[in-house]
Copies of this chain bind each other. A is one copy, B any other.
């Protein structure tokens, strides 16, 4: 570039701060405007999802900006799912048969702070806080903000406006309301909501249950999960029907009802949750929604990334990872078409949307898998077999979970298609009794591979007609 172009970024959350950092590294002048207060001055996030599962696709984004060593200090490895049954018995199910494949619990605010602090080192990058975006003039790349403390209205312009303003994106809303182009849009809510609770550290500062696992208490319709934090605590999340179910947020309307429900469903967890009633009553109940839309860009001037373009439910632990991978894909397209923003945006959406659509669908599937299937004997048999394959034949077999989570060089869509075909093949062969014990592990693997390829072949005939 001859002169520095100015990029206005709306939102300094995880995606916006990574994107801003990368853009200033590329030589752009960057302004980021964020509605919340500066997290270095005001503590926040109470009752929001305060930790996340960080994995290989997220690491690609972190590597892009050179922060892989720094991020590792924030990570707690989780090697698998620790399943808790209704009697309090536990059963460990590894995420992979390959020991180097695991996910990490990480604090959202620690990670965000790290990115903001790094971004702040650049003179060409400015961050403004407390400014909530009200509207974007799409054709003129101008955005209007309201200062939360004073109520003042401020306007910022850029050569380009990038929206990383999350699931409730103002930039996306301005696209939705624009009558100048057709805007496909969907918001799909689950009938379940979520509520954050916690397991505090022991008095000595230790962990009350296994540290290196993602804990799940699957109960068919509902579940709780727990992820470890660096201070010895666990963040617990309850996923429960809003209403019209035997147990629901509507029915848990008294301390007695809350205690009865938790004691009946999650007795071993209750014993570790001294603040259950208070947290349940004080923390908000949040909705679980999926957002998809298209186009992601308008007039060659604006583009949305991250949750603003594709908010997903949290059940694959891929929301932040997908947003970071967005930045990697965007950066590669920018490298190729730099100087022609309209083409950059179009090619970015073309390269990326099929994959974010796929992870959105996979995340909803995984809700059912976590709350229901993890407790199913056929499913557990499948997982045992897959783990054995991954251990014995690490270069030949990747489960759907591994394809999605640990194979960052293939896209989500390819991972979904291959993973679903594999699951169908294994479940169908298992239920037919076609994988009997007298077969060697290798023979079982070959049978599954053959069946998987048959399924993919038949799907392709229909697809490519």
Contacts and interface: CB of A to CB of B under 8 A. Distances in A.
Interface of A: 182-189, 242, 287, 289, 292, 372-373, 376, 378-379, 420, 423-424, 427-428, 431, 455, 457-459, 461-462, 465
List the 9 closest A-B pairs by CB distance, nearest first: A186-B186, A182-B189, A428-B458, A184-B188, A427-B461, A184-B189, A373-B465, A431-B461, A424-B462
A58 to B, nearest CB: 28
13 contacts: A182-B189, A182-B242, A183-B189, A184-B289, A185-B185, A186-B187, A376-B465, A420-B462, A423-B462, A424-B461, A427-B462, A428-B461, A455-B458
Contacts of A185: 185-187
Nearest to A186: B186
A77 to B, nearest CB: 29
Nearest to A291: B186
Contacts of A376: 465
A385 to B, nearest CB: 15
A186 B187 CA distance: 6
B465 A378 contact: yes
A184 B182 contact: no
A458 B451 CA distance: 11
A286 to B, nearest CB: 11
B189 A187 contact: no
Contacts of A187: 183-186
Contacts of A186: 184-188, 292
B424 A182 contact: no
A313 B423 CA distance: 33
Given A184-B186, A185-B186, A424-B461, 12 more contacts: A182-B289, A183-B187, A184-B187, A185-B187, A379-B465, A420-B462, A424-B458, A427-B461, A428-B457, A428-B458, A428-B461, A455-B458
Instruction: Name which of A186, A372, A376, A457 has the most chain B CB atoms within 10 A of its CB.
Output: A186
A224 to B, nearest CB: 21
Nearest to A191: B182
A382 to B, nearest CB: 9
A337 to B, nearest CB: 16
A185 B183 CA distance: 13
Contacts of A431: 461
Nearest to A454: B428
Contacts of A287: 182
A178 to B, nearest CB: 13
Nearest to A431: B461
A429 B66 CA distance: 52
Contacts of A420: 462
Nearest to A382: B465
Nearest to A365: B462
A312 to B, nearest CB: 15
Contacts of A182: 189, 242, 287, 289
A242 B289 CA distance: 31
A378 B379 CA distance: 37
B427 A465 contact: yes
Contacts of A423: 462
Nearest to A451: B458
Nearest to A288: B182
A184 B242 CA distance: 15
A373 B464 CA distance: 10
A401 B287 CA distance: 39
Contacts of A458: 424, 427-428, 455
Nearest to A458: B428
Contacts of A455: 458
A376 B465 CA distance: 7
A361 to B, nearest CB: 13
A287 B179 CA distance: 13
A230 B182 CA distance: 35
